[in-house]
Amino acid sequence: MYAGLAYDLIYNSLTPAERKTIEDGAFKPEVDFVTKDLKTWFDLIHNHGVWACAGVGIVGIATGNKDYVDMALYGTEKNGRSGFIAQLNGLFSPDGYYTEGPYYVRYAILPYYIFAGALNNARPELKIFQQRNSILKKALEAALQQTNIDGAFLPVNDAIKEKDFTSNEIVTAINIAWNVYGKDTGLLAVAAKQGTVLLNRGGASIAAELAMARTGSKYYPYKTVEYVDGANGDEGGISFLRVGKGEDLTSLTFKYASHGLSHGHYDRLGMFLFDKGNEVFQDYGSVRFVGVEQKYGGRYLPENKLYAAQTIAHSTIVADEKSHFDGKEDAAEKFHGEKFFSSASNPAVQVVSAKEKNAYADIDLHRTLYLLQLPRGKRLVVDLFHVISPNQHQYDLPFQYNGQIINTSFKYKAATTSQTTLGKKNGYQFLWKEAEAELKDTLAQFTFLNGKTYYTLSSLIDGDAQLFFTRSGANDPNFNLRREPSYIIRKNGKSQTFANVIEIHGKFDPVREFSSNAYPTVKNIRLIYNDEKYTVAEVQLGRDTLTIAQSNNESGTNVKHAVTVAGKTYQWSGPFTVLLNNKVLK
């Protein structure tokens, strides 16, 4: 691709003989190699295929070779089943979500935009930038919405956490998009952080805007967004619930999408949480050191598939110590999660509910996440996770927390002299057991410090449960894994409900040496009603009572519901209601 761009720049300065030497001696063998010897790879709907199509197409435009351009656009057979147009249609959902995740849309967006820019000049009749209702514009906006406030791409599927929107791929896309789609204050905020532009019309215009701008937004305009997955938008999706602005942004990610091709992870109904720019409950990302030759040449390390992609490395249910779909990509690619309902119209109550019925043969998963903004600035995540099965199973629900443990409400046995692994396979073999506890019919709480904020996970222990504090790094003699902690709730039985509350609270000031609101306000969690039709959860917050009532099998927005508990009737319309002291939370 880059060679084709360079050739185009010097084309007019070359003699016909020099052009023939380059085109026949350099470009033709390369194009023949990727379109004939590597035909299957070239026609693959994948980020590698995007680069291949862009390279052949740009060489075709630079050399005036229509055959090359047509193969790039429509595949080696020129039937439209592969090629650049098929890549646009196949890898993005209708609203711009890239099925492999934001890290890889960053990688693929550069050839998408560069080749589209070349086509816009050479074949304007294609109107390539308007293809699929301006899918490239939607893709760039979706990529930026899937970043943290520091610009780092959110770790969905395989992802290098250090990669952010200052990368040259996003610089290129923004500069071209600015010229094609028009000025955008959100893009300008990103460009200001990038601190560099291309020497093209878009880049020059951005530089002029930045030079004249006296004030502007410090952050990209993040908002709550939900994306569907799949070319037709019918393969589940992913939700990003957000509350707050700027440095005070809280962002909750809930994934119920398709697998994500070869870079996908086995993490149906997984979640992670960012707050104030920090990863609070995290996703591992990928096991790879890009640009570090000593680490397998910078390629993906074996532990990427053996640990990072496995279900136990995420924050979602693991049954019988087996990953979703038994860790098999071909099986995972056949299915996707389904959104049950969602609502973000009330900024105080944002919710997403999704189901997964295929991760295990005889188990249905149903998770509902509520991001709540309570009076006086308090924020909570309420997590109701139903596991439905007619058979006996062991269920593990890990929370990949990031921070220093401050306090627990329960006694545990710490492994201070020797440690054993949590299991023998499916990622469990990489986890050291640092501590464990056995609890029954109680409220389990543990508080940790991340940055200067306290976070408490409060968990309803209904019946018997085991708790584990673990850390990655076991069976890792080459030190390929980061040493990161997790907190795992284990239950045994048939159908189970995991009810958890994440509370964001307090402040730690290391300079002035004091803490404020360092203790959680959650005093109790109860499931006052819970069956296949309805769940009513009650959370005691100091003197306040938070009540969540939801339908588990009817998502219609106009359907009326009523549940009577101990003589008190809860009535609501739509799939859920959230009450604070018996009044609808607004």
SS (H, E, C) 115-133: HHHHHHHHCHHHCHHHHHH
Amino acid sitting at position 115: F
Is 2 considered catalytic here? no
Q: What is the pLDDT of residues 428-458, one digit of tens each?
A: 999 999 999 999 999 999 999 999 999 999 9
Regions of the chain where pLDDT drops below 70:
214-215
CB count in 10 Å sphere of residue 486: 25
d(CA 216, CA 214): 7
Contact 352, 339 (CB under 8 A): yes
User: Secondary structure of 512-525 in the HEC alphabet?
Assistant: CCEEECCCCCEEEE
Q: For 68, phi and psi rounded to 5 degrees? A: -60, -45
Write the Ramachandran bin of 96: left for phi over 0, alpha for psi from -120 to 50, otherwise beta. Answer: left
Contact 422, 318 (CB under 8 A): no
pLDDT at 214: 67
pLDDT at 392: 98
Is 263 considered catalytic here? yes
Domains and CATH numbers, the chain: 235-584 (2.70.98.70)
* Catalytic residue (one of 263, 336, 505, 561): 263
Going by the DSSP 8-state scheme, the letter that residue 229 receives in this structure is -
Q: Which among 247, 238, 256 is positioned nearest to 274, based on CA atoms? A: 247
Structure tokens that stand for 84 in this block: 């650049």
* Catalytic residue (one of 68, 74, 104, 107): 104
